[in-house]
Structure formats: structure tokens, C-alpha cells
Amino acid sequence: MNEFEVIPAVDMQDGQVVQLVGGERGTETTYGDPVEAATDWVEAGAETLHLVDLDGAFEGERKNADAIDAIVDACEIDLQLGGGIRTAEGARGLLDQGLDRVILGTAAVENPEIVEEISETHPGTVTVSLDAKDGEVVVSGWQEGTGLDPVEAATRYENLGAGAILFTNVDVEGQLDGVRTEPVERLAAAVDIPVIASGGVATIEDILALREAGASAVVVGSALYEGEFTLEDAQQAVEES
């Protein structure tokens, strides 16, 4: 990930693409078939896709595995997957199957050494997801607080071999109400590995603000699916700014 990227999200629940508001189940808007969505984003110019198995995130079981397998077969761009990855063995299996990066949230908080275990055999492939609500890292589908400060956690995972940090601000996630740059600035200043920002993007200006804050990439979901702007327009604005 050398240049700043705008990465479309393909969040999956019950075999459909969805976007949640504030991470709450029951708030989802549905956007159809995940494989169709993924291939559409590739055709639109995406260089990376952010895949999330929400059933896996909430329940710890990867229920959208068939759709994810089909996306791996259909898309020849970088793919990163989070949700329900709980073991080093499971993560290695996904990487060997064709995914480029695995995203660990709950598993990394409960067992930080898993980051080191995976990194030993697949260096640079682990992205640790730090999802923050009211400034505290939360896990289990954003339902449980951990008492962890995102900056302290990010530094620890960098030392364990994480290749990147995915920071999601749950307070603004899915609301199309704008981003908060200060937590991203703090994280980007604290670690040398890439920080991928997520949550709250409503406009192209939000994307540019996150880049200015030090993010290496931004994951966008609702704004793209709701047509607030196109992927092409966002990429063009990044290139021209």
C-alpha cells in the first residue's frame, strides 16, 4: 500500500451486502449480492476491497464463506477480510487460499500473540482492527468495551508484527455525518505502519481530511452505496489534491 487508497467496503450479513448504522444489528440497509458488488467495484477502478463477514464478527462463525470464496475467485485485486477469524490456523488458511490480508479484532485483543504467530509465517499480512467507541477499543461486533486506548494498543500490535492498523470510529460509523480526524492523527503519529481509517465518511472532503490526518487509506461503505460520490470521483480528487 504505497499511495493513499480509497477502498470500497463489502460488508456481508446473511449472504447480502449491508451497511449498519453505528455497528448496531437491525439498522442495516441491504445492497444485494456480495459477488456482484465486489466485481462492480473492481470494474469501477478499486485496487483493494475490504471484506467483512458481519455474522462472523457478531457470532464468531464465518457464515459468508461461500460468497468470500467466490469473490477471491472473481477478483484479481488485493483483498482484505475481517470478521470471525479467531485462530492463527484459520487466518493462515485464508491467506493461503488467496486473500492478501486478514483483519483481526476480537482475536487480537483476547490473544495478542496471535498477531506474532501469523506474522512469523505470513509477514505483513495481519491488519489489526481497532474499533473505538467513546475513545475505547470495543470488540465482539462493537458490543464489549476493553478498557484499551487505541494508541497504546496500536503500538503494541506494531511491535508484535502487525502490517497495518484499521481504525474504525464506531461513534460515526454508517451515519454519513462526517469524520473525526483527531483520533486518526494520534494513531498515525504513534506508529510507523499504515493506518487505514474507517467510519463516518460522507463526502470526498472527509476522505481528503483523513489523508491529511495521516491515514494511508480510507475504507468507504455507505457513502459509495448511497451514491454520495463515485469511487472514480474520489480517486480523482485524491490524485489532484
Q: Does domain 5-240 have CATH number 3.10.350.10?
A: no
pLDDT range class, residue 22, cuts 50, 70, 90: low
Residue 158 pLDDT class (50, 70, 90 cuts)? very high
Residue 1 binned pLDDT confidence (cut-offs 50, 70, 90): very low
Residue 192: active-site member: no
Domain spans of the chain?
A: 5-240
Distance of CA 144 to the CA centre of its chain: 18
Q: What pLDDT digit, counting tens, does each position of 108-148 carry?
A: 999 999 999 999 999 999 999 998 888 888 876 666 778 88
Catalytic residue among 53, 55, 131, 206: 131
Set 11, 53, 55, 206: catalytic member:
11
| pLDDT at residue number 149 | 92
pLDDT digits (tens, 9 = 90+) for 175-216: 566 788 999 999 999 999 999 999 889 999 999 999 999 999
Residue 134 designated active-site: no
Q: What is the DSSP letter of 134?
A: T
